[in-house]
Structure 1
Amino acid sequence: MKFHALWLSASVIALGWGGSAAAQSAQAPAAAQSGSNSGAGKIGEVVVTAERRTTNLQKTAIAATVINGKDLSKQGVFTVDQLQFVSPSLTVNNFGQGNDVDIRGIGKGEHNTQTSTGVITYRDGAATFPGYIQEEPYFDVAGVEVLRGPQGTFSGQNATGGAIIVNTNNPVIGGGHDGYLLGHYGNYNDTGLQGAVNLPISDTLAARVAFDGQYRDTFYHISGPWTGDPNVKWGAFRLSLLWKPDAHLSVLAKLDYDYLNNGGYFGDAIINPQTGKVNGTGSLFNFANNWHTSAIDQFVRSTIKIDYVTDGGVDFRSVTSGATSRSAWTGDIDGTAWTGPTAAAPTGSNYMIDEGVDTTTLSQEFNVISPSKGPLTWILGAYYGNITYNFPYGGFEIGVPHGVYDEDLNGTNRTYNWAVFGQVSYDLPAGFQLQVGARYTNWFTKNVGTFYIPELIPYGYSWSMNGSEKGNNLTGKVTLNWNLNEHNFLYAFVATGAKPGGLNTPLYFFGGYMPPPFKQEYVTDYEIGWKSSLFDNHVRLQVGAYDNSFQHFQVIIPLPNDPSFFSQTEENVPGRTKLYGVEGSVQAVFGDFSLNAGLGLEHTELGTFYSEDPRVGTDGHVCNPTKGPASAFCINLGGHPQTYAPNFTFNLGASYNFHLNDGDTLTPGMTYSHISDQWGTLFDNRAQGDYLAARDIVGASLAWTHNGYVVTGYAYNLTDDHYVSALLSPIRLAGAPRQFGVSVMKTF
């Protein structure tokens, strides 16, 4: 359960896919289909860009899942949500604008602007909004890379769990007017149209235009005196320009605009206010609200990548990115139309939120990259980034319940960081290679703002939340690689990562008390791995094991005397938090048959610390996070698993091409994903709804290819598994129900 913070409370609830459409529909054809069948029914080379140069995944010391644009469509991946069904050790808990992406159980502990994410997302080489507006659709995508484990050298802080890299298709100079159109229709009136076209302008300049539009009726049947339009309406546009005036210089510019109207972020109550019991899954899509609902994200992002390669092969690179967004959310956040008292809220349980947050990001990275050939390769880099969250006056209000306490927030939160980094690789005898990388980061965060509660007599009450915090960290990676032979690659490394500290928010139920700042989080990761190509490159295998140790692990501790659950502090676990596991994946191609599978086994264990669960009350004694003492109310959470960290994940996909007359093909495909049970809070209290049952998601498709057309029948969640995806006290969020439909794609 993510106890709801108020400094960006986050616009945080979106259910299931929040509007993603064709679960198994054909997707944009990738410009470069690395990893697809490569003649004679073999697997083509799969490349990864995690280390700022393009390298063969089978020869790179990193645990990663890499999926090209063609295979994204085969496996039903249209947004970040579906990545969890095709990659081991990955879970995505969709809180709307505030998605919680967890890799190996590490993600964003709380959705506010002060808490850093543990999994950073890159779009076309630039970091995106950290943890917010992640529902951006995958259209005209060249590929997605899911990097597991701390990425301390190249991604720096905010990547203690890993990173996700999304690369869209680039223009092709001299490539002709190539492109595609894709439309689909499915249940819930799920309607969409996307497309892209390459535009050669001259022998040195080309453009690419891509768009995506979607509409879907809501999944939910909501009763009660609520208002609003709950249906999903998305629109997105991308313009790309590529200029290559000579053999040395390349300038790639991309401009994205997205309008994402999610209709609202709906969830039913975890605890039925009238019975006091945990609701069953039958109410996940059927419940009552009594407040107006709407939820709209809009953003503009521009990225410019400049490469200048010398005659000697040294690449001087600049990546500049800027983005501005508006996130607005109004809704019922108790999941019922009940206004009477409950055990948790004796004065009434009618909670609402009405917020609008403006965000601006700016980043600049410089790289100097050596040629890839030779016994010695290296890369040097420098980075600067800042993020500003602006809370306009009157644009952020929470009623607890509405009309009793209305909290108005006005102010700004700014974060800055700069870093220098580098990595050196040197080839040793007998196929060994030594790699050493390091990154130094300096960070700073500052709040300037006020809280105001107009209901506090006689004239309302306000207090300042001004403050600042700063720090630095050194992270890196030392790797020993061994190219045993052409088909087998082994590696072992130790890597470190860090999440910056930050400022806690004022506790308005406690007189505006400002808890002390929380410290940086550090992780040390030990990994070994083996990658192999078998059966004349018809099968590829990746196996790895890892052991992570966290110091000052960041957690949210709720305030036990706050009946609304809306006040909490972020603390650091005093003891060592551990997680370890094994992962494996395999890809196989034999003629027209393709198969892929992934598996993750993990154990997580929090260090010793104590906290009171506000849902079960208090005995009035102080519960010290470090010393306790343990009691029925002061709970020792040491040894408890990390939230949203399933012990077992498994995914499987398979397809076969049947060749018909006149060159047509018929391709049936299936996908299966299992994510084991997990906990939504650190307290592991079944009676309070903390337990999240395992989910088994089955998908199927049947595609007919004819004269440049691809007609696909698709289905997602065939068994209509109703499951709780995530908790956001006091509501819970549902995964997407069964969806099915037909898509038609035309390439040209």
Structure 2
Amino acid sequence: MRRELWLTASAAMLLWAGAARAQDAQTTQTTQQAKHDEPAVLGEVVVTAERRTTNLQTTAVAATVLSADDLNNKAVSSLDQLQFAAPSVTVQNFGQGNFFNVRGIGKSEATTAVGVGVITYRDGVAAFPGYFQTEPYYDLASLEVLRGPQGTFAGANATGGAVFIRSQDPNFRGVNGYVQGQVGNYKDFKAQGAINLPISDTLAGRIAFNHETRDSFWDITGPYKGHPGDVDSNSIRLGLLWAPSPALKVTLKADYNDIDLGGYPADPALSTNDPFKITSNGPNSAHDTFVRSSLNASYTFGNGIMLRSITGYQNGTAKFSTDLDGTSALNNTFYDTVKEEVWSQEFNLLSRGDQRLTWLLGLYYQYDEVEFPASKYPTADYRVGFPENVLDIYLWGKTPKETSAAFGQVSYDLSDRLQLQVGARYAHSVSTNDDVYQTYPQFGIVLLQNSQIKDDKVTGKVTLNWKLDDDNFVYGFVATGHKMGGLNGPNLYQPAKAFAPENLTDYEAGWKSTLAGGRVRTQLGVYYNVYKSFQVNIGDPQYPQINRIQNVRGDTKLYGLEGSAQALFGRAAFDVAVSVSHSSLGGFYGADPRRGRTGTCDPASGPASVNCVDLNGNRQAYAPTFTFHAGAQYTFALDGGATLTPRLDYAHIGSAYTTIFNNAALGDRLAARDIANALVTWAKGDWKLAAYATNLTNQTYVAAINSGLRYAGPPRQYGLNLTRMF
């Protein structure tokens, strides 16, 4: 019944939009035909990550910026696909969370005790760190991927980079928007759209929605539970824009998401069978429900100085379960419910941007509480069974984190072509384990932790920008990043132990140019990162069978080169991006918890044994040495003002390791993947009909490995979508 209602609503919106704009069709066709005859040049690309709107080609940052059209053309509809459109990015999705890494830095451990290294901002608000990333990308204005530490503007959770996502704002351009319907294999059905409504001369609203259902990719035998892999995704976003004067602008956005993915079936990492044909006798579920809201208010004084306030509130519940051994042989299970609530407030004061000396000041506060809810003792919503009802572990409690920060940046033009920028951020953070219980009911054991850790740190960036001429810009900078330390949870063998903060220094240089009269745009950059006290989650030195977060003793180094180019010659468009990188862990002995215990493993001296491994020089997890992306399209002009545009995109992500032990024999190696997407779009006036195929060659590949299980990447998907703009 739900699908029929969506189809009816979509058809009604299509018919209404066609009637409302039919009289403008001829004008639109004439205008589009005129555009085909004009010389084509690339438009300006802007970034907003430094709280100002600046030209990417004259901003000292390594970044990939994707417009709404780019996201559609490259089939980027969620976080998973982003890795196939931006260099140095990898995403390993295992259901409830993900390992999102840029240049091999981000998150590689499924624990809330270690902070993320890549933070995502949505409409100016720092989103849930690590969880609730399943929201589809719909009705977006742009997406920016910034590579390298963003310590000044994004803070402690951005040692690897940051992502800034902007949804479409309400506008005063009359009634406008779009509606889209899609059908595909695996019984995929999607309905998406947005409508903008000017309520008055000073007030406008926008409503956007996304709905998708799809059957599972997996064929599971065994007495499994649930509907593993069946998708039922529903999202809605409401926006209001109030602009009573040119000086004051207030934008309110709120969205609700109910994302049921049915589970992420998996089998053991070393399995040789088809990863979509598996056995299971355990549960499979993955269901997120969450709300996000942002209130962005800005006021520009008569002297050009702007005051901005950004308020955010987020609340979500994630439920996940899986067959922990990945087979029907054992009854090893994992159940997890996580509730998270985030409040944030940021104030910015910005000078005019057309001065020789420009500046920005900011204040920031965030309260982030993660709760593992309790049911009834001795059970909880977080439960691990080895096997279930024989040896169980339950966990519940709260882990609130509070952060206060002050930051700023000053830019001074030493000459008309040379500029110095200095930015810094001071942050004070408090992380608490508040009545965290871990129980072993079969043994009557209860472990309790009440602890707190505080952290103070200054990070920053010093940049020298040099505009060689109107078409060439070079830069160099030194930036620092920081990830706070914390406390490990209690275990049967010893009290909780602390781990130290992680600090890094990033040295980068880059050259950006515009060539061929604005038809070609390039970026080229090199980076060298040194991490001190790099945080890893491996076997405890004394009790290797128990994992504990520790710090690598020596310096961990990551360095590489990145380049990209976009070109537009008449009706032909091309883009290419490449990254080459190297990573090397510092001198350190680590205990591999997958190996049998052979004694203590001193981080400084070992001694080396089966499970005490000399990790010096090993590659960082999720850090491929080579990534390559390329896309090409050509627009054919047809009779009657219509166009036909075929497009092909290709992405190569090199092989990578999933743990710092780099042990392929234990399933640590993720093989390289080569993903091709194809899109053919017919367009006329405000209508678009597109045929698409993702993973065109139907490559079978492992997308993630977590807790000894492998998670397959999506197979080939294809279908049609019809879009009506109005």
Class of the TM-score when normalised by the shorter of the 2 chains:
over 0.9
- CA distance in 1: counterparts of 2:542 and 2:271, whole angstroms: 24
Q: Is 1:677 paired with 2:655?
A: yes
Q: Is 1:313 paired with 2:304?
A: yes
Conserved 8 A contact 1:196-1:208: yes
Q: Is 1:646 paired with 2:644?
A: no
Q: Equivalent residue of 2:71, what SS? A: helix
What is aligned with 2:280?
A: 289
- CA distance in 2: counterparts of 1:696 and 1:301, whole angstroms: 35
What is aligned with 1:666?
A: 644
Q: Equivalent residue of 2:442, what SS? A: coil
What is aligned with 2:318?
A: 327
Deviations 1:431-490 (A, max 9, x none): 100000000011110012343545434xx2211021111111110000000011100000
Conserved 8 A contact 1:663-1:706: yes
Specify which of 576, 592, 595 is matched with residue 571 of structure 2: 592
- Residues 60 and 452 of structure 1: CA distance in aligned 2, closer, same or farther (over 3 Å): closer
Q: Equivalent residue of 1:245, what SS? A: strand
Conserved 8 A contact 2:460-2:479: yes
What is aligned with 1:197?
A: 195
- Residues 290 and 41 of structure 1: CA distance in aligned 2, closer, same or farther (over 3 Å): same
- CA distance in 1: counterparts of 2:251 and 2:655, whole angstroms: 44
Q: 1:114 deviation in Å?
A: 1.6
Q: Equivalent residue of 2:70, what SS? A: helix
Amino acid at match of 1:497: G
Amino acid at match of 1:409: L
* Residue correspondence of structure 1 range 590-629 to structure 2 within 5 A: 590-619=569-598, 621-629=599-607
- CA distance in 2: counterparts of 1:100 and 1:729, whole angstroms: 13
- CA distance in 2: counterparts of 1:448 and 1:742, whole angstroms: 51
Amino acid at match of 1:322: Y
What is aligned with 1:522?
A: 503
Q: 1:94 deviation in Å?
A: 0.8
What is aligned with 2:214?
A: 216
Q: Equivalent residue of 1:662, what SS? A: helix
Amino acid at match of 2:196: N
> Which stretch has the larger CA shift, 415-424 or 109-118?
109-118
- Residues 559 and 722 of structure 1: CA distance in aligned 2, closer, same or farther (over 3 Å): farther
Q: Is 1:532 paired with 2:516?
A: no
- CA distance in 2: counterparts of 1:241 and 1:430, whole angstroms: 41
Conserved 8 A contact 1:261-1:296: yes
What is aligned with 1:179?
A: 177
* Residue correspondence of structure 1 range 10-89 to structure 2 within 5 A: 40-89=39-88
Amino acid at match of 1:479: T
* Residue correspondence of structure 1 range 385-534 to structure 2 within 5 A: 385-393=366-374, 394-429=380-415, 431-453=417-439, 455-457=441-443, 460-507=444-491, 510-511=492-493, 513-534=494-515
- CA distance in 2: counterparts of 1:480 and 1:94, whole angstroms: 38
- CA distance in 2: counterparts of 1:722 and 1:603, whole angstroms: 26
What is aligned with 1:383?
A: 364
> Which stretch has the larger CA shift, 47-56 or 90-99?
90-99
Conserved 8 A contact 1:152-1:496: yes
Unaligned 5+ residue runs, structure 1?
1-35, 271-277, 340-349
- CA distance in 2: counterparts of 1:258 and 1:402, whole angstroms: 32
What is aligned with 2:224?
A: 226
Specify which of 276, 279, 290 is matched with residue 271 of structure 2: 279
* Residue correspondence of structure 1 range 151-162 to structure 2 within 5 A: 151-162=150-161
Q: 1:207 deviation in Å?
A: 0.4
What is aligned with 1:28?
A: none
What is aligned with 2:348?
A: 367
Amino acid at match of 1:518: F
- CA distance in 2: counterparts of 1:451 and 1:250, whole angstroms: 47
* Residue correspondence of structure 1 range 723-734 to structure 2 within 5 A: 723-734=701-712
- CA distance in 2: counterparts of 1:724 and 1:244, whole angstroms: 49
Q: Equivalent residue of 1:97, what SS? A: coil
Amino acid at match of 2:212: Q
Deviations 1:250-294 (A, max 9, x none): 100000100000101211112xxxxxxx212x3311111112322
What is aligned with 1:149?
A: 148
Higher share of residues assigned helix: 2
Amino acid at match of 1:727: I
Deviations 1:484-522 (A, max 9, x none): 110000000000011111111122xx34x3331111111
Amino acid at match of 1:106: I
Aligned residues: 686
- CA distance in 2: counterparts of 1:721 and 1:622, whole angstroms: 43
What is aligned with 2:293?
A: 302
Specify which of 541, 549, 552 is matched with residue 570 of structure 1: 549
Conserved 8 A contact 1:96-1:133: no
- CA distance in 2: counterparts of 1:552 and 1:560, whole angstroms: 16
> Which stretch has the larger CA shift, 80-89 or 623-632?
623-632
Deviations 1:327-371 (A, max 9, x none): 1112212110112xxxxxxxxxx3111221211001100000111
Unaligned 5+ residue runs, structure 2?
1-34, 375-379
- CA distance in 2: counterparts of 1:547 and 1:239, whole angstroms: 43
Amino acid at match of 1:662: G
Conserved 8 A contact 1:152-1:495: yes
Specify which of 673, 695, 698 is matched with residue 676 of structure 2: 698
Conserved 8 A contact 2:438-2:490: no
- CA distance in 1: counterparts of 2:481 and 2:96, whole angstroms: 25
What is aligned with 1:33?
A: none
Q: Equivalent residue of 2:498, what SS? A: coil
- CA distance in 2: counterparts of 1:559 and 1:553, whole angstroms: 16
Q: 1:37 deviation in Å?
A: 10
> Which stretch has the larger CA shift, 426-435 or 540-549?
426-435
What is aligned with 2:12?
A: none
What is aligned with 2:15?
A: none
The share of aligned pairs that are identical, in percent, is: 47
- CA distance in 2: counterparts of 1:612 and 1:475, whole angstroms: 32
- Residues 168 and 657 of structure 1: CA distance in aligned 2, closer, same or farther (over 3 Å): same
- CA distance in 1: counterparts of 2:145 and 2:673, whole angstroms: 21
Q: Equivalent residue of 1:498, what SS? A: strand
Greater relative contact order, per chain length (Cα 8 Å cut-off, separation 6+): 1
Q: 1:632 deviation in Å?
A: 3.8
What is aligned with 2:686?
A: 708
Conserved 8 A contact 1:560-1:614: no
